[in-house]
Amino acid sequence: MVERLVLQAYYPHAVTISVPVNILPPELDVVCLGSSLVDVLAQTDDETLSRLGLIKGTMDLIDLQRADEIYAEMGQAVEVSGGAAANTAAGVAALGGKSGFIGKVADDAFGEIFTHDMRALGVRYQPTPVPAAAGKLEAQGTGRCLVLVTPDHERTLNTHLGAATTLAPADIDGPMVASASVLYIEGYLFDAPQGPEAVREAIRIAHEAGASVALSLADPLCVERHRREFLDLLVDELDLVLCNEEEALGLFNTTSLDDAIEAFDETGLLVAVTLGAKGSVVISPGEISRVDAVSPEQVVDTTGAGDLFAAGFLYALTHGRSPELAAQLGGLCASEVISHMGPRPQVDLAQLAREAGLIS
């Protein structure tokens, strides 16, 4: 896998022999593949979570009826574009990188909001919206994620995937995927009926074009649902893995972080495991580094922390920096996004990173 672009950052000597297919340099740094969601965020309390039967810190897939039930119990909310991989694409663009996004919206108000926000950030995004009332009830309308933020700043997610569930291999924009250094995939896509095939198609194109392939494990429950598929990908298809501690433990069915790190180390991939306030661990062939977290001024809402870590990590790698510095930049981006409500940066991330001496 050394010939893939991302690892050039780590093995600079390999650069000249590393682009077997693309003659021109990649046009995009990262293409993200994921669910198009609008987040509906409200502050709540533990009592409301238990009354609604929700498990704190997880993402649950819900139908429209359940969405209405939870929404009715939520306080005044803020709507803001979200979606895990979409947040990462937004973060890469906010850092000054070139990113693209692939994911399905419906032709409704939330679809317009989502599309506007991606383009407003400079993310390349050309969706073909599906009719808002087409198909089964659970596939109707642009996806939305109800985010309940508790006083401990944890977030509990309830997602009505809607149009995002209609992603199919035909939706993969081959030229866009082929034009990127890295294809970044959110694990949540394995919840869509044709998601796994769409993912495989995108990976096929990426590999043919010499792009690196990164997977985000998304969420502990998602790992539980798709552990087998994720391990298969790990063995055959991936160059990078991004996950948090709980997801890492779930993937290898262990309670020991050290065991999980060792298991990742054996794969020979580049892996970043985020540990919340404890920072992150970067596992790369022959080296394991621990990187401190960046303390935010205040913690308001942890939604998007992992996604923005991924944005900083991938931006740095695709700009020739070491995995360790990449994890530092990831930590900085995560610290910004948890200091306010919503999963997208609210300040000029590039300037923030320059001030921290992490990008030039």
Element (H, E) at 146: strand 143-149
Beta strands in 207-300 (DSSP E): 212-216, 240-244, 270-274, 280-284, 287-291
Instruction: Decide: 11 and 4 in contact? Cβ < 8 Å.
Output: no
Residue 79 within binding range of its own copies, rule CB under 8 A: yes
Residue 322 is encoded by which pair of tokens? Answer: 């070491």
What is the closest distance, in whole angstroms, from the C-beta atom of residue 109 to its own copies in the complex? 4
Residue 341 within binding range of its own copies, rule CB under 8 A: yes
Site string for its own copies, 108-137 (x = CB under 8 A): xxx--x--xx--xx----------------
Cα Rg of the chain (Å, integer): 19
- Using CA atoms, how far residue 47 sits from 52, 53, 65, 68, in Å, is 9, 10, 21, 19
**Binding-site size, its own copies (CB under 8 A):** 26
Residue 226 within binding range of its own copies, rule CB under 8 A: no
Kindly tell me which residue out of 8, 36, 48, 81 binds its own copies, with binding defined by CB under 8 A: 81
Stretch that binds its own copies, among 23-31, 74-82, 167-175, 320-328 (CB under 8 A): 74-82
Residue 320 within binding range of its own copies, rule CB under 8 A: no
The amino acid occupying position 39 is D
Residue 42 within binding range of its own copies, rule CB under 8 A: yes
- Residue ranges of alpha helices (H) inside 238-345 are 245-251, 257-267, 305-318, 323-337
Place of tokens 């682009």: 19
Stretch that binds its own copies, among 75-83, 204-212, 276-284, 314-322 (CB under 8 A): 75-83
Pick the closer one to its own copies by CB: 31 or 90: 90
Instruction: State how far Cα 156 lies from the chain centre.
Output: 16
Residue 43 within binding range of its own copies, rule CB under 8 A: yes
User: Distance between CA 164 and CA 103 in Å, rounded?
Assistant: 7
What is the closest distance, in whole angstroms, from the C-beta atom of residue 233 to its own copies in the complex? 31
Residue 78 within binding range of its own copies, rule CB under 8 A: yes
Residue 77 within binding range of its own copies, rule CB under 8 A: yes
Place of tokens 């969405």: 67
User: Distance between CA 310 and CA 337 in Å, rounded?
Assistant: 12
Kindly tell me which residue out of 13, 23, 24, 76 binds its own copies, with binding defined by CB under 8 A: 76
Residue 307 within binding range of its own copies, rule CB under 8 A: no
Kindly tell me which residue out of 124, 160, 226, 344 binds its own copies, with binding defined by CB under 8 A: 344
Q: Given the rule CB under 8 A, which residues bind its own copies?
A: 42-43, 71-72, 74-81, 90, 108-110, 113, 116-117, 120-121, 340-342, 344, 346
